[in-house]
Amino acid sequence: MLESCLACLQAQTLRHTVIVVDNGSTDGTSERLRASFPHVALIDSPTNLGFPAACNRGVAAGSGEVAVLLNNDVEARPTLLAELLAPFSDRRIGSVAAVLLRPDGTTIDSVGVAVDVTLAGFPRLRGIAALEAGRREPVLAGPVGGAAAYRRRAWEDVGGLDEGVLGYGEDVDLALRLQTAGWRTVAAPHAVGLHLGSASFGRRSPFQRYHGGFARGYFLRRYAVLTSSAAMRAVATEAIVVGGDLLISRDLQALRGRVAGWRAARGLSRRPFPPAEAIDASMSFWQSLRQRLTVYRA
C-alpha cells in the first residue's frame, strides 16, 4: 500500500516534499522505503505512537505553508495536491477536504466530515455517486485525517492533533477547534483519491472498535457533551451503539473503550463548544443512527 501511495505522489502535477512516518512497523518497511524511494524523508519510530502523534511529528518536520495528511491506503489522482492547495488563496481558509472514493472509483467514501449536535462525526456524503461530490449539504465540519490539507499557521494556532487518542475522532476534534478559532474550511471536489479503508487498523477488528470507542468517550468528556443540551440524545445514541456492537460482535470492546476514554480525559481542560456553523443541526437522532449504521456496514 505504501509503495502504491508513494508512486501516486510521484505522479502529482505539483512539486512537493514527502515525509513518511513509520509508526513502529515490523515488516521491513523502512529499509524498503530507503531503497525504493530515497527522495522521501523518513521519520522512523520504534513504537506505535498513534496516528495523531505520528502526524504531528511529520508536520513539524516539514516547512511548507500547507501540510497535507495522506494515509498509506489512499491512491491520489495526479491533480489531488494542486486541487487541495487552490482554495488556500483565500487567507481565511484553514483546512481543505479532499474527495475520497471507494475502490470502485464511482462511489464516495467521504468528502470531509459532518458533525451532529452530540459532536459525533460522520464521513460526509458517504455512499453517493462521485459526481455529487460538490454538494453543500450536509454541513462540512472539516477534512478527514486520511486526506486533508491544513494551513500551517492554522495548524500551529490550535496545536495540531490531540495525542490523547491512538486514532479515531482526532480529525473531527481538530476540525472543531479550527472553526472555534475562526478558521474556515471548504471541500475541493476535484481533489480525488481512492481509499481502501481501514487497511491498517482492520475492518471492525476488536482493536479498531476499542479505540473508536475510546476516542468517543474521550471527546465526549473533553467537550462536556453530557452537560450540554444534547446530553440525553448523546446518552441514548451511545447506549444504542454499544448495545448494537455487543449483538454484532459478541464482546464489550465498544463499551470498554468508551469507559477508558472517559477516564483518560479526567482532569483535562474543557474545550469550548464549537460554533453553530461547524455543526449540522438539521441531522436528526434517527439520521445520526443511520449514519452510524452506514459506518458499520462499510
87: domain range? 2-195
In this prediction the pTM is 0.94
The residue from 195, 227, 243 where one domain ends is 195
Residue 204 has pLDDT above 80, yes or no: no
Same domain, 169 and 30: yes
- The confidence score (pLDDT) of residue 292 equals 79
The residue from 165, 195, 225 where one domain ends is 195
Same domain, 48 and 147: yes
What Cα–Cα distance (Å) separates residue 77 from each residue in 94, 147, 234, 254?
Answer: 23, 12, 38, 35
Same domain, 22 and 65: yes
Q: How far, in Å, CA of 274 to CA of 257, rounded?
A: 24
- The confidence score (pLDDT) of residue 199 equals 54
Same domain, 191 and 210: no
Residue 150 has pLDDT above 60, yes or no: yes
Q: Looking at this protein, which amino acid is placed at residue 100?
A: L
Torsion of the alpha carbons at 210, 55, 197 and 233, rounded to the nearest 10: 50
Question: How far from each other are the two terminal CA atoms of the chain, in whole angstroms?
Answer: 19
Find the DSSP H helices in the chain.
2-10, 29-36, 51-61, 80-85, 152-158, 170-180, 206-222, 231-249, 253-264, 285-297
Residue 66 has pLDDT above 90, yes or no: yes
Nearest alpha carbon to residue 81 among 93, 94, 69: 69
Is the residue at 92 inside a domain? yes
Is the residue at 200 inside a domain? no
pLDDT band of 141, cuts 50, 70, 90: very high
Residue of 269 and 289 predicted with greater confidence: 269
Same domain, 9 and 89: yes
The residue from 168, 195, 222 where one domain ends is 195
Share of the chain above pLDDT 70, in %: 96
Residue 232 has pLDDT above 80, yes or no: yes
- The confidence score (pLDDT) of residue 13 equals 97
Which CATH number fits the domain that encloses residue 91?
3.90.550.10
Q: How many residues does the chain have?
A: 298
pLDDT band of 79, cuts 50, 70, 90: very high
Same domain, 137 and 36: yes
- The confidence score (pLDDT) of residue 198 equals 56
Residue of 292 and 278 predicted with greater confidence: 278
CA 179 to chain centre: 15
Same domain, 46 and 174: yes
What Cα–Cα distance (Å) separates residue 188 from each residue in 18, 163, 185?
Answer: 21, 27, 10
Same domain, 169 and 224: no
Same domain, 248 and 181: no
What Cα–Cα distance (Å) separates residue 130 from each residue in 74, 108, 126, 187?
Answer: 16, 5, 10, 14
Is the residue at 88 inside a domain? yes
- What is the pairing mode between strands 108-111 and 93-101? antiparallel
296: its cell numbers: 458499520
Is the residue at 164 inside a domain? yes
Say which residue the cell 522505503 belongs to.
Answer: 33
Same domain, 141 and 19: yes
Overall number of domains in the chain: 2
Residue 295 has pLDDT above 60, yes or no: yes
Is the residue at 83 inside a domain? yes
Q: How far, in Å, CA of 16 to CA of 41, rounded?
A: 12
Summarize the confidence of residues 274-281 as an average pLDDT: 96
pLDDT band of 7, cuts 50, 70, 90: very high
Same domain, 190 and 212: no
What Cα–Cα distance (Å) separates residue 44 from each residue in 21, 31, 48, 54, 182?
Answer: 6, 10, 10, 10, 35
- The pLDDT tens digits of the residues spanning 40-53 come to 999 999 999 999 99
Same domain, 136 and 60: yes
Q: How far, in Å, CA of 112 to CA of 258, rounded?
A: 24
- The confidence score (pLDDT) of residue 146 equals 94
Is the residue at 201 inside a domain? no
